[in-house]
Amino acid sequence: MERWCRCIIKELEMIRRTLPADCMISSIYCGGGTPSYLPVTLWADLLKELALFSRTADCEFTVEANPESVDQEKLTAWQYGGVNRVSLGIQSLDSRELRMIARPHSASEALEVLEQCMNHGFRTSGDLIFGLPNQTLRRWHASMSRLAAEGIRHISVYQLMIEPESFWGQHTPEHLPDGYPMYRWAQYYLPHRGLRQYEIASFAVPGEESRHNLAYWRRSNVYAAGPAAWGFVDGSRYANDGDFTKWAEDIEMGRSPVTYREHLQGGREASEAAVLALRTCFGISFQEFSSRYGSSYLEEILQRLRKLPPQDFCWTDRSVALSQRGMRVGNSIWTELLDLEQCDKP
């Protein structure tokens, strides 16, 4: 942890030196992995470095956390360090499901930490997983309704994904339920509790959306630090080395840890922008999209979307977005937009 923190701070210094003089950071996100496991002493060093970045007055500063790694000392340190949002990896509020997925916290512990975060004044988000082995719609609803009853203002729902090299990938569990009805129920239930679906996996009280989430879907500049971190600056995407030792050695030697870069252009860029925009309830703004990527690409996209079932979309004279039904079949819709580069050919 000490080496990781030293190198993160050094990489942040490298990033800070490259920023334009008038750059104001509007979102800071400490996540991917579980940074809440860092001891308070290392958090103090990290927060000290982050304080050197010029921020907007309403900068959103988020820390990802697992309930078992949060205590009052860390919450106080985060509060004094400028953190104003905590994203909790709750995953489930069913004790059987938590044991089955080997989460080290209980439902009561997760709710206790949630209450502590809210009492400290943090905007707090909770993550839940659906499609777990033997999970029923009733148990899925119980977790959602219990979490919503706590007054939480942001909930993200993710379907279980089993990676081939993971434990479950090699020991596939029986009785994996169909996630479709669970996702559909979340789309029905959470808006009735005041949480609007603003992107494919997230629901929030209006005004409580994650600014950092939206930065990705809007292709805004994102500066990244850490092993396997991905960034996006002025249309260029890059990734750091995913091997911790190699990443750390590069940082310690003053070398860039970036091992991958791409800069999409033409139809590929327009295609990506359209797919990302359609992940959100705001969809594709015709004027904005045309000015950034070209009217010819916009027209091609709209022609393709108009051939698809109309109930999958919400059309206005200024924009198009996916309907709730469209969100449920988003993968098939986005596939229709993945070959716009063919429009570049004479």
* Res 341 pLDDT > 80: no
Domains of the chain, by residue range, sit at 20-208, 266-344
CA 71 to chain CA centroid, nearest Å: 24
Helix axes 180-192, 137-149, angle to 10 degrees: 30
Q: Which tokens hold the place of 336?
A: 């229709």
The pLDDT value given to residue 345: 56
Rounded CA separation 226/81 (Å): 20
Could you tell me which of 164, 95, 160 has the C-alpha nearest to residue 133?
160
Rounded CA separation 290/317 (Å): 14
* Cα-only R_g, the chain: 21
The predicted-structure confidence for 138-182, as pLDDT tens digits, reads as follows 999 999 999 999 999 999 999 998 888 877 788 777 788 999 999
The pLDDT value given to residue 344: 65
The predicted-structure confidence for 72-93, as pLDDT tens digits, reads as follows 999 999 999 999 999 999 999 9
Could you tell me which of 285, 280, 326 has the C-alpha nearest to residue 302?
285
Q: Which residue has the higher pLDDT, 175 or 249?
A: 249
Architecture per CATH, 266-344: Orthogonal Bundle (1.10)
The predicted-structure confidence for 21-33, as pLDDT tens digits, reads as follows 999 999 999 998 7
Category of 224 on φ-ψ map: left (φ > 0), alpha (ψ -120 to 50) or beta: beta
Calculate mean pLDDT across residues 293-297: 94
Average pLDDT, the chain: 94
CATH fold group of domain 20-208: pyruvate-formate lyase- activating enzyme (3.80.30)
Q: Which tokens hold the place of 87?
A: 């994203």
